[in-house]
Chains A and B, each alone.
Chain A
Amino acid sequence: MQSQLLNQMHTADKLSEEPWPEDATLYQPFDAEQILLPENASCLAVKAYLKMCGLPFNIRCCGNAENMSPGGRMTKLPFLRAGAFIFAEFEPIVNFIEQKDMAIGSWQDPDEKADMRTYVSLAENIFTMAELYISFKNERVYKEVTAPRNGIVFPWPLSQIQNYTKRRNALRLLKVYQWNDLDIKHVIEKVSKCCETLEYKLKESPTTPFFYGDQPCELDAIAFGHLFSILTTTLPNMALAHTVQKYKHLVDFCVFIDDKYFQSKQIKISH
């Protein structure tokens, strides 16, 4: 498991010649009963990206998806099995698809691409950390939502152990990103700053619905995945959703992407 990060990078190079496998499968936890907010966001981001690229894929829900994942920097989910190879999390999956020249956003020039990558990194880090924070550091959310949902697929004593290790890992992640000593006020401040940055970027091209011009790119996928998950997930503490709702352009953007690529769900903004 240890060398997975590098392996993923190298396999992406090797595979560049082959066509997109027919049986590409995305593994994730159970949507309705099990999945947690940060995982849901990253799964949605990857799904949005694959749909934007127009690549066919199956979704498979497994209770132990996280344990099957080869590992990653944050949630380790979702992971994509393409042929004999496995990639976990947003960035490795995007790198893999880019090697195949099937990716969106190949029209961008290198400078723009570098800027875009930094926006992706910011959105992914800030939103994932905020989601982890609210799921694991807010006592009420943890007791009422996170712990029961995370433990649901396991029998009683095991579910307690799972919850314990999961929480410990989440807190460690927050510590590494230097979020462990923040209080909720500062978390909200960080999220609103990030939303401001995204909205500013969105407003730079006011006539087009996407962040960059009239075509989607990685940033659209990751921003949609996180914002939509935050907006539509009901938690005992809705501080994050209320923060995002203040940015009307971003909410409109989420509705637009949802209509265009997912169609099925309707955005529900609860107050």
Chain B
Amino acid sequence: MEMQLGAMLHVYKGEWGLPSIDYECLRALCLLRFTRCPMDVETNANPLRSGAGKLPYLQVGNEKFVGYRQIKRVLDLEGYPIDVRLNAKQKHLSTTYADWVFTHLHAYYHYFLFGEPNNYDTVTRGLYAKRTPFPFNFYYPATYQREALDVVQVLGGFDINDKIDKHEAEYLVMNAKKCVNLLSSKLGRKVWFFGDTYSELDAIVYSYLAIIFKITLPNNPLQNHIKGCSNLVNFINRITRDIFRNEGYSSTKLTKTANTTDDTLTPSERKFLESELNTKIVAGVGAILAMGAFAAWRGVYNQLTTRSSGDYDGIDYEDDELEEGLD
């Protein structure tokens, strides 16, 4: 297809072996890779270049298609529809289940990634800030928090700007656990939710659960619950390993973490190494600043001393005058 040649999908870079850190991006990537659509993926994307200030977006020539829904429509038109191999009943069930998963997991995802203040400050804000160019990284992650405010207000019934003890997250957690249980029993021992073929439901469930399962948040009650459902863990790991194995950066990320001695370290050791690096950088910058300041101070001091000692140094002065006179 000639249109595919210039097409490029822009997403956030991944983490923890996943191809992307963002639900919407991961969902769009799933569409692409499940249907084996030959399209390039750009991971160093600038969200502000999409026109809507958000990732993912698909660039075809000069046209931009922002967001999952528009990307899906383009892929449908281009001959890569995701549910083409399902029968009629499965197609309908895929949409109903996808909608149901949305109502049960969307608020949980937004609350625990962006709404919970500790999670947001220690993990999520940094994740998004690192993937956004300076100086937008200071401002940009907060737009996600504002979005989460609406989502939690509508679907969870409380305000995330309230004090933390007023957050009624228990309801969200309960709903999410119910959803995970049902998905686990629905999946059973099958490869995909509808047997041998992928569907949109697989893409959506994978995108929500893979991020919730892999992310390293201080407070994430669903993570352990997913660990208890071994078939869902297998489902997540299998898709990450098989479908996204050749995913440019994710594979380098995967091999990097797999091949170096990094994986023999415990998370706390790794954190220590990272913090040591940070300390080195801070110390280096501090040392340079101190030296600079010292040099400047010395320079000024020297000038002052030469000028003040100039009164005593009559010979130099006379030499200068002599030279000037000879010229």
Contact = CB atoms under 8 A, between A and B. Distances in A.
A200 interface: yes
Contacts of B162: 2
Q: Is the interface of B mostly helix, strand, loop or mixed?
A: helix
Interface stretch (A27-35, A115-123, A222-230): A115-123
B157 A118 contact: no
A6 B93 contact: no
Contact of A178 (B69, B93, B157, B168): B69
Contact of B92 (A73, A121, A178, A200): A200
Contacts of A3: 158, 168, 171
Contact of A6 (B99, B153, B154, B170): B170
Interface in A1-41: 1-6, 9
Interface string A173-199: 101101000000000000001001100
A176 B96 contact: no
Contacts of A115: 93, 96
Interface size class of B (residues with CB under 8 A): 20 to 34
B171 A6 contact: yes
Interface in A116-144: 117-119, 121-122, 125-126
B92, B100, B103, B174 — most chain A CB neighbours (10 Å) = B92
Contacts of B17: none
Interface in B153-190: 153-159, 162, 166, 168, 170-171, 174, 182, 186
Given A121-B103, A197-B92, A200-B92, A2 B158 contact: yes
A73 B154 contact: yes
B93 A5 contact: no
B4 interface: no
Given A176-B155, A178-B69, A200-B92, A2 B166 contact: yes
Given A6-B170, A172-B153, A122 B95 contact: yes
Contacts of B154: 73, 172-173, 176
B155 A122 contact: no
Nearest to A197: B92
Interface in B230-252: none
A5 B99 contact: no
Contacts of B88: 200
A9 B174 contact: yes
Interface string B89-120: 10011011101101100000000000000000
B203 interface: no
A208 B171 CA distance: 38
A176 B92 contact: no
Nearest to B153: A172
Contacts of B151: 176
Interface residues of A, number: 30
Q: Is the interface of A mostly helix, strand, loop or mixed?
A: helix
Nearest to A196: B92
A172 B162 CA distance: 19
B182 A114 contact: yes
B40 interface: no
A201 B166 contact: no
B150 interface: yes
A125 B103 contact: yes
B150 A114 contact: no
A185 to B, nearest CB: 12
Contacts of A151: none
Given A2-B157, A176-B154, A122 B99 contact: yes
A121 B100 contact: yes
Contacts of A122: 95-96, 99-100
A71 interface: yes
Given A6-B171, A122-B100, A176-B150, A193 B95 contact: yes
Contacts of B182: 114
Interface string B134-155: 0000000000000000110111
A1 B153 CA distance: 12
B96, B151, B156 — most chain A CB neighbours (10 Å) = B96
A118 B166 contact: no
B150 A172 contact: yes
A125 B69 CA distance: 17
A178 B204 CA distance: 15
Contacts of A1: 157
A2 B155 contact: no
Contacts of A178: 69
A133 to B, nearest CB: 15
B88, B89, B100, B155 — most chain A CB neighbours (10 Å) = B100
A2, A118, A197 — most chain B CB neighbours (10 Å) = A118
A5 B156 contact: yes
Contacts of A193: 95
A125 B97 CA distance: 12
Nearest to A74: B154
21 contacts: A2-B158, A2-B168, A3-B158, A4-B157, A5-B156, A73-B155, A115-B93, A115-B96, A118-B97, A119-B96, A122-B95, A122-B100, A125-B99, A125-B103, A172-B150, A175-B150, A176-B150, A176-B151, A176-B154, A176-B155, A197-B92
**Which 10 A-B residue pairings sit nearest by Cβ, starting from the closest?**
A118-B96, A118-B100, A6-B171, A121-B100, A122-B96, A197-B92, A176-B154, A122-B99, A2-B158, A5-B171
Given A2-B168, A115-B96, 5 more contacts: A6-B170, A73-B103, A118-B100, A122-B96, A200-B88
